[in-house]
Amino acid sequence: MNQAPIKLVITFWTLFTFPSVAQTAAEKMSALGYPAIPASIRGEKSTRNPNSIGLTAPAHSGDWALADIGFFRVFNPLFQAIDPKTTPCSKSTIVAVVDTGIDYTHADLVDALWVNQGEVGQWAPQAGWVPPAGIDALCRDRSCNGIDDDANGFADDVIGWDFVHNIAAPYDIIGHGSHIAGIIAATGRSQMSGVCSGASIMTLKYYDPTNPGANNLSNLVRSIHYAAANGADIINFSGGGVEPAESELKAVRAAREMGVLIVTAAGNQGRSNDLFGSYPANYPVDNILSVASVDSENKVLPSSNYGQRVHLAAPGSEILSTLPQGGLGRLTGTSQATAYVTGAAAFLMSQLGKHTSYDYIKIKSWLTRGAKSLPSPKVIAHGLLSLPDSLKLLRAEEAHVSKN
Ligand SMILES: [Ca+2]
Ligand SMILES: [Ca+2]
């Protein structure tokens, strides 16, 4: 697929002022060269059953990072749980990836996509219905009728939203968001599995460097509000800035009101977050969990921010994950480390038993209390992410609650 020329993107930016976004969405998508959202995810619920996701050993199951977080003390090398109490990650665990979009056609990601059930299923147009410009007149599914069927303010938002172009196809041409999504929940169908294969990824695109006219902060804020309003349990935001913003803090607080945990990058300036600004990582709000990156020897990377305000460290050096156009490759940074913590948070949420319900404070507490101390001289508040130790804390609480 060819990347859309910048000139074209800017041209289409002007379409934002048209009265109806739905009328131009399909045309915009086609002009941008984005692939269609695969028909298999629309209205065919039988293929989206969690049991259909096989945790088969992918070709790249031995990457250092999964071993480093203790993944292979919970799962064997064939990705089967060692303890029979451990269940595969649940489709009902919804993780919003607020990023550059996702390659939603990637074999290892297509089955990991959250599907907005209010925008799929059979749809029969009433007599006299005239399809808006750019809408398929033969469409017989809610996902392609140009109508906001679930009345959430977005027409045909089947898998999420592209806030940069205001369309329902949040495709990733950069690779950042696809890489993050793979670390969290790649399904292993083709090449790799994530920490929480089986969880649902809600795709929210707030950033596209080929569209320099976009307001990234505003699109980020809209993405956080969308995630909170549409059922996300956890938000992964592998980004940030050095200045705080009132609108962003308000969105973080709104997500908190909905019980949503926001896992976010400490930043890649190589400095202490106790002394310098990094937002949203540094907001003193309890649903923020900020993450530094370490290498395969568990040393904090020179580029990673650190300090007492950074909650956890996780692998973030030369990390293997999914890339657009069916690709796979290595990237480095606190962005990748953030995704490991998000994957672990989603995994813990999926393990909650009948005596414990989802509570972002508890998930955060198990992750931070279960962390291991770090050899690095750079301070991280709680240390290194450990999946088995955090799971142990969850099980202990589950056993305690069931006795009382
Ligand atoms: Ca909608
Ligand atoms: Ca619709």
Instruction: Enumerate the domain spans of the chain.
Output: 6-403
Beta carbons of 289 and 266 less than 8 angstroms apart: no
Q: pLDDT, tens digit, for every residue of 222-259?
A: 999 999 999 999 999 999 999 999 999 999 999 999 99
Alpha-carbon torsion (186, 192, 193, 198), positive or negative: positive
| Distance in Å, CA 132 to ligand 2 centroid | 12
A 10 A CB-CB count for 55 gives 17
Q: What is the pTM of this model?
A: 0.90
Average pLDDT value over all residues in the chain = 87
| Distance in Å, CA 103 to ligand 1 centroid | 21
Q: Give domain 6-403's CATH number out of 3.90.660.10, 3.10.20.600, 3.40.50.200, 3.40.50.10470.
A: 3.40.50.200
| Distance in Å, CA 384 to ligand 1 centroid | 39
Q: pLDDT, tens digit, for every residue of 3-55?
A: 333 322 222 221 222 233 344 566 777 788 888 888 777 644 333 333 333 44
Tell me if residue 315 falls in helix, strand or coil: strand
| Distance in Å, CA 401 to ligand 1 centroid | 39
| Distance in Å, CA 151 to ligand 2 centroid | 9
Burial 199-234 (b: 16+ CB within 10 A, else e): bbbbbbbbbbebbeebebeebbbbbbbbbbebbbbb
Query: Can you give the pLDDT at residue 48?
Result: 32
Question: Which ligand does the CA of 142 lie closest to?
Answer: 2
| Distance in Å, CA 326 to ligand 2 centroid | 28
What distance in Å separates the CA atoms of residue 45 and residue 50, rounded to the nearest whole number? Answer: 10
| Distance in Å, CA 23 to ligand 1 centroid | 15
Query: Can you give the pLDDT at residue 54?
Result: 40
A 10 A CB-CB count for 178 gives 32
Question: Which ligand does the CA of 147 lie closest to?
Answer: 2
The average pLDDT across 203-221 equals 92
Helix (H) or strand (E) holding 292: strand 288-294
| Distance in Å, CA 341 to ligand 1 centroid | 30
| Distance in Å, CA 120 to ligand 2 centroid | 7
What distance in Å separates the CA atoms of residue 39 and residue 22, rounded to the nearest whole number? Answer: 19
DSSP letter at 373 equals P
| Distance in Å, CA 335 to ligand 1 centroid | 29
Question: Which ligand does the CA of 156 lie closest to?
Answer: 2
Question: Which ligand does the CA of 25 lie closest to?
Answer: 2
Pairing of strands 261-265, 288-294: parallel
149 exposure class (CB count in 10 Å sphere: 0-12, 13-18, 19+)? middle
| Distance in Å, CA 141 to ligand 2 centroid | 8
Query: Can you give the pLDDT at residue 10?
Result: 22
Is the bond preceding residue 377 a cis peptide, omega within 30 degrees? no
Q: pLDDT, tens digit, for every residue of 305-336?
A: 999 999 999 999 999 999 999 999 999 999 99
Tell me how far CA of residue 335 lies from CA of 96, 138, 253, 295, 352, in angstroms: 14, 42, 22, 13, 26
| Distance in Å, CA 149 to ligand 2 centroid | 5
Beta carbons of 232 and 201 less than 8 angstroms apart: no
- The residue whose two tokens read 């049991």 is 51
Q: pLDDT, tens digit, for every residue of 109-149?
A: 999 999 999 999 988 888 888 887 777 777 788 998 889 99
| Distance in Å, CA 135 to ligand 2 centroid | 11
Q: What's the first-to-final CA gap in the chain, in angstroms? A: 58
Residue 1 has pLDDT above 90, yes or no: no
Pairing of strands 327-331, 319-323: antiparallel
DSSP letter at 59 equals T
